[in-house]
Structure 1
Amino acid sequence: MNYKTTGGFSMKKLSFLLLFSIMLSACGSANAVPNQSGEDVEKQKLHQKEETATIIDWVDFVQFEGTHYVSADSAVLAEKNSIGKEIGVVAFQMADNINDPYYKVKNGDAAFWKEGTALFGVKEMPDFLAIADESKVNGYRLYLAEPKGEEFPHHFKDVKLESVDLVEIYTTANEPKLLNRIEGERLDTFKELLKQGAEPPAGDRAYSQEDPEIYQMILYTDEPFAHAFHIYNEGGQWLWYPWDEELLSGEIEHFMIP
């Protein structure tokens, strides 16, 4: 069982990922068999073509002014007032409307956002655009220009921990609720607990059969964006994914709620 949901994305040169699922009948074959007429062969080919389905596995992206922007799941706005002016709108939603794997992405296309959704610039962050999203801390989902993706600190190992001056803990509901603010001496202790995370022992470890409790952890620095990760409580075992799965001390529980 793997609950990893954030920690950045792997930048690719493709506009989106395509997953092809070819579903053919168990005994179907387009090859002619003895005594099979040409008409029968063509009918069989047509039948197989009708049973073939293409499933497109979309990456969350927006195409704007010739640049491909991909959702930066490991980043949120540090402050709501960092949002800039409206710079455009989504012209076309691709999910549920496009099933052609050779479709060429156009300016204004978005994977999941509806036509007319506003696009915003972000102050002091020229490589980003933003879309209002109540499910994200501080109210906006950030999209990073794909060419800049390799330079962005998506993972915990890339975070300058000494620069983190505040940590907030939120629920993961559709509208995140602030549970705790960690600063001062308590922040130093919290950072140490994160750094002391241990890899699970070799072999399969026991997993809880119940769904884990999931918390959002937001790390603030002096940047206009904050780093976003998740922490999980799986039946009393605390863990997270700074890269691969790491187990956390039970002491972390004291920081999850006030």
Structure 2
Amino acid sequence: MRILMIMMGIVVFLSGCSTSVDPNPIKGNSTIDWVDFVKLNGDSYTGLYGRVLKNPGDVTDEVVGEVKFKVGDVVTNPNYKTKAGDAAFLEIGTKLYRVNGYKSEELIAAKDENQIGGYRLYAGDDFVKTLQLHYKDMPKDKVERIELYHFDQTTPFNTLLNDDKERFIELLDHGKDTPNYRPQNKDGDPAYYQMVFYTDGPLGYAYSIADDRVNVFFYPWDTRVVDDEVRNWLNP
């Protein structure tokens, strides 16, 4: 009996060691480079920065979920397991809304006055794989208008239609791919702009373009330098 009791004690001790719990699942010694995400109702979403709502009115009043915990700048334990209600950068209490024309697991939106259209979009992990986000995949023959924005501005300073729209796209398409191009910063940082191409679909295509005072360039994949003529629309 004494031997049996000793053996049982050893088993209990070993079991306790194997199920030890991290005393602090949030704090650690790591700096985590979080992707802009949110988890709700068993679904995981990623920030969709390459698309803009053509009609912000498509965002409904139906709340899909609410952020309960912001992990960015708080969680430093690399073993932390994200859970429903977690978000990387959205503030606690931020509501996520359903968007007309999409299932709630496909696309949702959070109010953000710093984003074009007034919303930050989040795409479900499965849905984002179906989106064509690269410039080469954009249906250029269906572009209805192009809006140009100064970086970090939400009101367009120029809208291109008809011949202007066609010529602008032509200049982008016929630029020179220069993968190793480095911005010329001797006269200060480049001026950055946002280009938003609206087609007949509900989501516009958004890309950045920059002018370093020597060349104008953008990133369809690798860096592409475009003709100086494009400045006619960037500096109207």
Fold agreement, TM-score > 0.5: yes
Q: Is 2:207 the counterpart of 1:229?
A: yes
Structure 1 Cα separation of the partners of residues 74 and 50 of structure 2 = 28
Question: Once the two structures are aligned, what percentage of the paired residues are identical?
Answer: 33
On the 8 A contact 2:149/2:158 being kept in 1, the answer is: yes
Counterpart residue identity of residue 69, structure 1: Y
Count of residue pairs brought into register by the alignment? 205
Q: CA deviation at 1:79?
A: 1.5
Q: Is 2:219 the counterpart of 1:241?
A: yes
Partner of 2:6: none
Partner of 2:166: 188
Q: CA deviation at 1:101?
A: 1.0
On the 8 A contact 2:184/2:214 being kept in 1, the answer is: no
Structure 1 Cα separation of the partners of residues 29 and 75 of structure 2 = 13
Structure 2 Cα separation of the partners of residues 193 and 132 of structure 1 = 34
- Which one of the candidate residues 12, 30, 46 is aligned to 1:54? 30
| Structure 1 residue runs without a partner (length 5+) | 1-51
Q: How does 1:60-75 map to 2 (within 5 A)?
A: 60-75=36-51
**Greater C-alpha radius of gyration:** 2
Counterpart residue identity of residue 44, structure 2: H
Structure 1 Cα separation of the partners of residues 157 and 102 of structure 2 = 28
Q: CA deviation at 1:205?
A: 5.8
- Which one of the candidate residues 130, 154, 160 is aligned to 1:176? 154
Q: Structure 1 residues 204, 238: closer, same or farther in 2, change over 3 A?
A: closer
Partner of 2:8: none
| Structure 2 residue runs without a partner (length 5+) | 1-27
On the 8 A contact 1:59/1:111 being kept in 2, the answer is: yes
Name the SS of the counterpart of 2:177 in structure 1. Answer: coil
Partner of 1:152: 131
Structure 2 Cα separation of the partners of residues 197 and 142 of structure 1 = 30
On the 8 A contact 1:130/1:143 being kept in 2, the answer is: yes
- Which one of the candidate residues 80, 85, 108 is aligned to 1:129? 108
Q: CA deviation at 1:249?
A: 0.6
Structure 1 Cα separation of the partners of residues 182 and 64 of structure 2 = 49
Q: CA deviation at 1:200?
A: 2.3
Counterpart residue identity of residue 32, structure 2: I
> What is the TM-score with the length of structure 1 in the denominator?
0.75
Structure 1 Cα separation of the partners of residues 102 and 54 of structure 2 = 12
Q: CA deviation at 1:204?
A: 6.3
TM-align CA RMSD? 1.7
